């Protein structure tokens, strides 16, 4: 299947003007007017949307309430370009430093600048240097799709969330409006002039903007073209021309009226069964069940958004299950199927690399080693999923590269027996320490030896019980306890398959001590940590016996040793290992999102006619205030950070970090929907 622009990225085509400002040759237009610069951005976009007074008013109102605040203010920009508008906005946010409000900035961009071009463009603004550097540190220029980035709080201001939606603005916004009920507070319309880029002002796009606008949402743009004014009015906005910046006579400001009718959907999506429900406003307390990677990452994302989180763990310490190995490997599952699964795997991998680098700064014991991961062709040639068959031209070389045998050996630090697919951003860390770092947030309380056996809901909250003893209650609960989720009534129908996995700890030899990156064959071998490599991990359906198995030790070693320099591995030098049970799923994707009300859905679905079952005008019913993140298999390290952030975004009713085709792949109702569709309703 050929790549579509939506899947592969096209970077900006630039020329540099004499003034040093970037110019788009594709659109024959400027990114910003070099005469106006920062002052013009402040006038058109910041003042045009009255951002500072609105932030101050909201912050003061929130300060007056006693409850902890989870409120956020969302800005969406059409055309991220050089990020100048974003940086100015960030600077204004820093200066005001609201204490009770968070800032979420979303920008759509179809042709992102390459990072070197961005660096050069931003040289023009030395006054923004510190912010520009922080942006450049996390800026992705290499992959289409959504990128959620967390930018640090400098001075007194809180950290902010930046979502870059790479792809066509109309498509990405339409997909957001379909699935999510979150709405935008202010719009920066900055998509080149309508004369050269009519698509950024089309009726369809303006309708999506209206759909995603909160009542009272504002917008501004420098364009006063008749087409723009008419288009915005017909989408439901009230607009007026006001004084432009400097010599410019006019610009446009507008707002979506408080009393405006909700814009009608532009056609229901085919798979609207998998929409998310509108989020009721609930007190900001959440119970997370399970202190493995899935639970800890979710707790962290919620805490960062202002929620008070109680984490309940049945064991006497955190990361007691599959998340507790000495070393865990981060890599990306590559594929050429241009679908939501591939996009999820890539996005989750990239998000994880950013999170690990960020957390490692404050918690060096996380020991994040971005040493790279090699997948050897030779080792995979016998398997169905042959990494040698993946066409890496679908990926940026920043993500995946072909290395010949010599180059692989160089990077590996010892001789290997063939070429590889190399993920330079991959690596390993200590997963238990990562869990500790996640839970170190002051909004999180951890309670171990707390085995949840039953959940009951009353009108306001979930009550969580161990036998008949109530452990805690909260309006929202996240089930993140891996295979134990099937023991809770509400999540019991989730089709989780337990798989035993054993890691072997292998003493380093003089040769293997040189291993500098993770090498994957049928088994992987990590660089040594305190003289021991992790080699693994086995797959076995036999979960009745969780003792270490000599046979699985040997399988682990045989899966990698023959591909390394002869005699490098001393197969007799196994110094123990660890067995845990992974929770896997039939489609190898995790189960993350709101918990469906399976019984209500079955009743609803069975009563429908054939056409309505295919094209529903209703959504899957969910259990109120109950969410799940399980089924991560052996990919918990790459999945968990983004899945935690996704769940926290749903709970906080924020714009989501996942496109709709991606969230469908991890939706907790997908298996049940498939099962119902297969039933015979003709009788
Ligand atoms: N706001 C930017 C800044 O602060 O530098 C300047 C934006 S520039 C005037 C317009 C941007 O819109 C360009 O970066 C361009 O690539 C992007 N763009 C053009 N057509 C688009 C589309 N259909 N979807 C998303 N972005 C698009």
pLDDT in tens, 569-584: 998 899 999 998 889 9
Average pLDDT rounded to a whole number, residues 597-610: 90
Residue 580 CA to residue 501 CA, distance in Å, equals 6
| Whether pLDDT at 168 is above 80 | yes
For residues 382 and 245, the model is more confident at 245
Q: Name every residue whose Cβ is closer than 8 Å to that of residue 158 and which is 6 or more positions away in sequence.
A: 97, 98, 99, 102, 103
Alpha helices in 534-581 (DSSP H): 550-558
CA angle 373, 376, 380 (to 5 degrees): 125
Question: Quick one: residue 195, left, alpha or beta (phi over 0 = left, psi -120 to 50 = alpha)?
Answer: alpha
Give the Å distance between the CA of 241 and the centre of ligand 1.
22
DSSP state of 529: B
- Closest approach atom of ligand 1 to CA 113: 14
Q: Which residue has its alpha carbon closest to ligand 1 atom 14?
A: 81
What the block records as the tokens of 301 is 């994302």
Q: Which residue has its alpha carbon closest to ligand 1 atom 2?
A: 81
Burial 279-312 (b: 16+ CB within 10 A, else e): beebebbbbbbbbbbbbbbbbbbbbbbbbbbbbb
Q: What SS3 string covers 582-632?
A: EEECCCCCCEEEEEECHHHHHHHHHCCCHHHHHCCCCCCCEEEEEEEEECC
**Strand runs labelled E in 9-81:** 14-16, 22-24, 29-30, 72-78
**Per-residue pLDDT band at 473 (split at 50, 70, 90):** very high
Residue 354 CA to residue 364 CA, distance in Å, equals 15
Residue whose entry in the numeric block shows the structure tokens 């697919």: 421
The pLDDT score that the predictor gives to residue 482 is: 94
Average pLDDT rounded to a whole number, residues 189-200: 94
**Per-residue pLDDT band at 2 (split at 50, 70, 90):** very low
Pocket of ligand 1 contains residue 109 by CB under 6 Å = yes
Percent pLDDT > 70 in the chain is 95
Pocket of ligand 1 contains residue 221 by CB under 6 Å = no
| Whether pLDDT at 178 is above 80 | no
Residue 240 CA to residue 218 CA, distance in Å, equals 12
Which residue among 92, 111, 186, 220 has the greatest number of ligand 1 atoms within 8 angstroms of its CB, and so is best to mutate?
A: 111
- Closest approach atom of ligand 1 to CA 121: 5
| Whether pLDDT at 523 is above 60 | yes
Average pLDDT rounded to a whole number, residues 288-314: 97
| Whether pLDDT at 410 is above 80 | yes
Residue 611 CA to residue 597 CA, distance in Å, equals 22
Residue 71 CA to residue 214 CA, distance in Å, equals 14
- How many CA atoms lie within 13 Å of 410's alpha carbon, on the beta-carbon side? 6
Residue 683 CA to residue 672 CA, distance in Å, equals 20
| Whether pLDDT at 538 is above 90 | no
Q: What is the pLDDT of residues 342-357, one digit of tens each?
A: 999 999 999 999 999 9
CA angle 270, 237, 272 (to 5 degrees): 10
**Per-residue pLDDT band at 3 (split at 50, 70, 90):** very low
Average pLDDT rounded to a whole number, residues 286-312: 97
Q: What is the pLDDT of residues 496-521, one digit of tens each?
A: 999 999 999 999 999 999 999 999 98
Q: Which residue has its alpha carbon closest to ligand 1 atom 10?
A: 191
The pLDDT score that the predictor gives to residue 471 is: 97
Residue 134 CA to residue 139 CA, distance in Å, equals 9
Pocket of ligand 1 contains residue 340 by CB under 6 Å = no
Which residue among 192, 219, 220 has the greatest number of ligand 1 atoms within 8 angstroms of its CB, and so is best to mutate?
A: 192
The pLDDT score that the predictor gives to residue 1 is: 38
Task: Name the average pLDDT for the chain.
Answer: 91
Average pLDDT rounded to a whole number, residues 166-195: 89
The pLDDT score that the predictor gives to residue 426 is: 98
Of 359, 348, 325, residue with least CA distance to 644: 348
Q: 416 pairs with which residues across the strands?
A: 564
Q: What is the pLDDT of residues 395-409, one digit of tens each?
A: 999 999 999 999 999
- For the chain, state the CA radius of gyration: 26
- Closest approach atom of ligand 1 to CA 200: 23
Give the Å distance between the CA of 200 and the centre of ligand 1.
8
The pLDDT score that the predictor gives to residue 385 is: 56
The pLDDT score that the predictor gives to residue 323 is: 72
**Per-residue pLDDT band at 37 (split at 50, 70, 90):** confident
Percent pLDDT > 90 in the chain is 75
Q: Which of 181-185, 285-289, 438-442 has the lowest mean pLDDT?
A: 181-185
């Amino acid at each position: 299947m050929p790549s579509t622009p939506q899947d592969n990225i096209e970077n900006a085509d630039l020329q540099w003007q004499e003034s040093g400002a970037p110019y788009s040759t594709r659109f024959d237009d400027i990114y910003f007017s070099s005469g106006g610069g920062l002052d013009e951005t402040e006038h058109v976009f910041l003042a045009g949307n009255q951002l500072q007074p609105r932030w101050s008013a909201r912050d003061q109102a929130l300060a007056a309430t006693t409850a902890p605040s989870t409120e956020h203010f969302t800005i969406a920009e059409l055309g991220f370009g050089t990020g100048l508008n974003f940086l100015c906005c960030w600077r204004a946010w820093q200066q005001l430093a609201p204490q009770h409000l968070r800032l979420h900035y979303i920008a759509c961009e179809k042709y992102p600048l390459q990072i070197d071009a961005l660096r050069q463009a931003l040289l023009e603004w030395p006054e923004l240097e510190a912010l520009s550097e922080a942006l450049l540190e996390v800026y992705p220029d290499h992959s289409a799709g959504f990128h959620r980035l967390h930018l640090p709080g400098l001075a007194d201001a809180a950290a902010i969330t930046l979502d870059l939606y790479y792809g066509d603005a109309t498509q990405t916004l339409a997909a957001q409006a379909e699935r999510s009920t979150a709405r935008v507070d202010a719009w920066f319309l900055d998509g080149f002039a309508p004369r050269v880029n009519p698509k950024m002002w089309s009726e369809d796009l303006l309708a999506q903007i209206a759909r995603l606008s909160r009542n009272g949402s504002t917008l501004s743009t420098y364009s006063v073209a008749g087409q723009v004014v008419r288009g915005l009015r017909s989408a439901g906005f009230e607009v007026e021309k006001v004084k432009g910046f400097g010599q410019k006579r006019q610009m446009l400001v507008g707002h979506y009226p408080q009393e405006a009718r909700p814009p009608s959907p532009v056609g229901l999506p085919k798979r609207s069964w998998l929409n998310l429900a509108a989020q009721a406003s609930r007190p900001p307390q959440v119970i997370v069940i399970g202190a493995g990677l899935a639970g800890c990452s979710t707790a962290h994302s919620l805490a960062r958004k202002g929620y008070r989180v109680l984490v309940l763990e049945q064991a006497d310490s955190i990361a007691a299950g599959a998340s507790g190995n000495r070393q865990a490997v981060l890599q990306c599952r590559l594929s050429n199927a241009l679908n939501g699964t591939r996009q999820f795997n890539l996005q989750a991998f990239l998000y994880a690399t950013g999170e690990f680098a960020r957390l490692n700064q404050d918690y060096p014991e996380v020991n994040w080693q971005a040493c790279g991961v090699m997948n050897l062709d030779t080792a995979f040639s016998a398997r169905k999923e042959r990494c040698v068959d993946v066409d890496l031209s679908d990926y940026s070389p920043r993500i995946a590269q072909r290395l010949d045998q010599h180059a692989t050996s160089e990077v590996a630090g010892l001789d290997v027996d063939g070429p590889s697919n190399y993920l330079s951003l991959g690596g390993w860390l200590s997963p238990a320490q990562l869990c500790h770092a996640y839970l170190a947030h002051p909004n999180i309380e951890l309670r171990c030896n707390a085995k949840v056996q039953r959940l009951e809901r009353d009108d306001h909250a979930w009550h969580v019980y161990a036998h008949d003893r109530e452990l805690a209650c909260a309006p929202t609960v996240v089930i993140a306890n891996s295979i134990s989720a099937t023991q809770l009534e509400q999540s019991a129908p989730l089709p989780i398959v337990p798989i035993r996995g054993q890691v072997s700890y292998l003493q380093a030899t003089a040769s293997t001590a040189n291993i500098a990156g993770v090498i994957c064959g049928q088994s992987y071998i990590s660089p040594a940590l305190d003289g021991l490599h992790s080699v693994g991990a086995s797959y076995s359906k036999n979960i009745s016996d969780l003792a270490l198995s000599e046979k699985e030790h040997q399988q682990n070693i045989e899966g990698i040793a023959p591909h390394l320099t002869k005699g490098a591995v001393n197969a007799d030098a196994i110094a123990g290992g660890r067995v845990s049970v992974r929770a896997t799923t039939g489609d190898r994707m995790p189960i993350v999102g709101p918990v469906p009300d399976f019984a209500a859905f079955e009743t609803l679905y069975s009563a429908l006619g054939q056409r309505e079952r295919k094209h529903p005008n209703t959504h899957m019913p969910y259990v109120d205030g109950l969410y799940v993140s399980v089924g991560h298999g052996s990919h918990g390290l790459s999945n968990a950070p983004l899945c935690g952030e996704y769940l926290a975004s749903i709970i906080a009713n924020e714009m989501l970090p996942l496109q709709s085709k991606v969230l469908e792949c991890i939706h907790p109702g997908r298996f049940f929907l498939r099962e119902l569709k297969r039933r015979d309703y003709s009788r």
